[in-house]
Amino acid sequence: MLRVLVVDDSAFMRKALVRMIESDSDLKVIGQGRNGEDAVKLAAELKPDVITMDIEMPVMDGLTALTRIMAETPTPVLMCSSLTTQGSRDALKALRLGALDFIAKDASYVSIHIDAIRDDLIGKIKAVGRQKLKPTPKGPAFEAPEKTIAGFAPDQFELILIGSSTGGPPVLEHILSNLPPDMAAPIVVAQHMPNIFTKSMSERLDSLCAVTVVHGEHGMPLYPGTVYIGQGGKHVHVARTPGGRWSLQIDDEPAGALYKPSVDELFRSGARTAGARCLAIVLTGMGADGLLGARELKAKGGIVLAQDEATSVVYGMPRAVAREGLADASLPPTGIITHLTALRGAPASGAPMRTSA
């Protein structure tokens, strides 16, 4: 039984969250708070397994409370964020401050999408509630031993694909901000989160990174030294034009996929179009999205790297790939950076260079 503390200044939202959480027999709400001060106090008194906490609250806001909780009573926290540009920026900041994930909410959205939100909320509470809090992806704990990966040749890759979910944004930021601008291949990312959040994330990453980071649009040409963040709520695929150039496809197919963007769909498109010239990376996340795509990619001779258990917030997606023997190596973020920074300089044969207009 996981014990949950719910903190929100809206009585309607508290009631809705409690009802959704307690619809699962494995979860129990042990306390409720109305502001950040309540959150800090109740976290210390009740020692919950998980806290769900709003960002915008009176007296003390959620970001301030989160900082206090991480310093005084470290506890897995899920932030509740509004579906606005500012809400998305605050949610991403919360992840950098130590929150493990977030759920998007507002009163009308909850009323209309109650079943989807309930499933998302319960799944995330169970995923983060069973995790030990781990350090932010930097520092000695994330140093990687030197490893040699069979078949890893720096000049072989035309595409780099990254799949990420719970706990992924801070790891993505750490990895991408340490890459040089002259990467020899384009990088395409499928991160599980709504569209307004992927847009805010791409804008922040572009301000931090030496590589160019953009929010992917349908039909965009893919260039070395550029990172393309897939839109939330849609699938992202890579395609090859009749002239042999790489481009991005953003669409809704297949419609029945559990996640959009789907890591499986991204990896499958890489397997079909690039095969052995594709490098795929599976970062922290719950579930097994990426497993089927990694299987197809390996069958075509591609290379797959997985984040290791010690540094994954949720060792679900990387575990699924590693358990089936599909990961050529399981590495901490620093180890992934080491291998990616080897892929700099002239593009692999067939990869287009960016040309000025």
What is the domain range of residue 11?
2-130
Assign 140 a pLDDT band (cuts: 50, 70, 90): very low
Q: Which of residues 85, 113, 130 is at a domain's end?
A: 130
Q: Does 184 lie in the same domain as 78?
A: no
Percent of the chain with pLDDT over 70: 88
End-to-end, the C-alpha distance of the chain in Å comes to: 60
Q: Report the pLDDT averaged over residues 169-191.
A: 96
Give ∠ CA 270-215-290 in degrees, rounded to 5: 35
Q: Is 9 a catalytic residue?
A: no
- Paired with 90 in beta bridges are none
CA–CA distance from 348 to each of 221, 276, 344, 353 (Å)?
Answer: 16, 12, 10, 10
Residue 287 near residue 315, CB atoms below 8 Å: no
pLDDT above 80 (res 131): no
Catalytic entry in 81, 82, 165, 202: 165
Range from 145-149, 242-246, 258-262, 284-288 carrying the lowest mean pLDDT: 145-149
pLDDT of residue 355 exceeding 60: no
Q: What is the CATH number of the domain that holds 96?
A: 3.40.50.2300
Are 118 and 211 contained in the same domain? Answer: no
Look at residue 88 and tell me if it is in a domain: yes
Mean pLDDT in residue range 129-145: 57
* Burial 274-296, CB ≥16 within 10 A → b, else e: bbbbbbbbbbbbbbbbbbbbbbb
178 & 325 share domain: yes
Q: Which of 263, 272, 315 is nearest to 292 (CA)?
A: 263
Q: Which of 289, 312, 328, 339 is catalytic?
A: 289
> CB neighbours of 166 closer than 8 A, spacing ≥ 6?
100, 101, 124, 127, 128, 192, 284, 285, 286, 313, 314, 316
Report if residue 148 sits inside a domain. no
Point out the domain boundary residue: 110, 130, 150.
Answer: 130
Per-residue confidence band for 350, with pLDDT thresholds at 50, 70 and 90: very low
- At 96, the pLDDT band (50, 70, 90 cuts) reads very high
Distance CA 153, CA 193 (A): 32
Per-residue pLDDT tens over the stretch 15-44 = 999 999 999 999 999 999 999 999 999 999
| pLDDT (0 to 100) of residue 105 | 74
| Among 52, 166, 31, residue whose Cα is nearest residue 105 | 52
**Residue 107 tokens, joined:** 């009163």
pLDDT digits (tens, 9 = 90+) for 188-237: 999 998 888 999 999 999 999 999 999 999 999 999 999 999 999 899 99
Residue of 157, 75, 132 whose CA lies nearest to 315: 132
Q: Is residue 239 part of a domain?
A: yes
Same domain, 61 and 165: no
Indicate if the pLDDT at residue 349 is higher than 50: no
Q: Three-state SS for 31?
A: strand
**Ramachandran angles phi, psi of 143, nearest 5°:** -70, 140
143: pLDDT strictly greater than 80: no
The overall average pLDDT reported for the chain is: 88
- Do 123 and 240 lie in a common domain? no
> What is the residue-wise DSSP string for 239-278?
EE-TTS-EEEEEE--STT-SSSS-HHHHHHHHHHHTGGGE
Residue 206 lies in a domain: yes
Q: Are residues 111 and 163 in the same domain?
A: no
Residue 220: give its domain's CATH number: 3.40.50.180
Torsion of CA 200, 202, 208, 209, to 10 degrees: 180
Q: Look up residue 285 and give its DSSP letter.
A: B
**What is residue 300's predicted lDDT score, i.e. its pLDDT?**
96
Residue-wise pLDDT tens digits, 228-272: 999 998 999 999 988 889 999 999 887 777 788 999 999 999 999
Confidence bin at 148 (pLDDT 50/70/90): low
Which of the following is catalytic: 81, 174, 192, 308? 192
Same domain, 126 and 163: no
Answer yes or no: do 199 and 329 share one domain.
yes
Domain presence at residue 356 = no
Q: What residues pair up with 78 in beta bridges, in sequence order? A: 52, 101
Task: Reply yes or no on whether 207 is catalytic.
Answer: no
pLDDT of residue 252: 86
Choosing from 130, 148, 177, the residue where a domain stops is 130
The more confident residue out of 220 and 81 is 220
Residues 176, 80, single domain; the answer is no
pLDDT above 90 as % of the chain: 71
- Quick check: is 63 in a domain? yes
Asked if 118 and 180 sit in the same domain, the reply is: no
Do 103 and 4 touch, CB atoms closer than 8 A? no
Any domain includes 16: yes
Could you give the number of structural domains in the chain?
2
Q: Is 106 a catalytic residue?
A: no
Q: Where are the beta strands (DSSP E) in the chain?
A: 2-7, 27-33, 50-54, 77-81, 101-104, 159-164, 187-191, 212-215, 226-229, 235-240, 246-251, 278-282, 303-307, 329-331
The answer to whether residue 113 scores a pLDDT higher than 80 is no
Contacts of 220 (CB under 8 A, 6+ apart): 214, 228, 247, 248
- The answer to whether residue 149 is domain-embedded is no
Pull the structure tokens for residue 136.
């932010």
Are 57 and 196 found together in one domain? Answer: no
Same domain, 239 and 286: yes
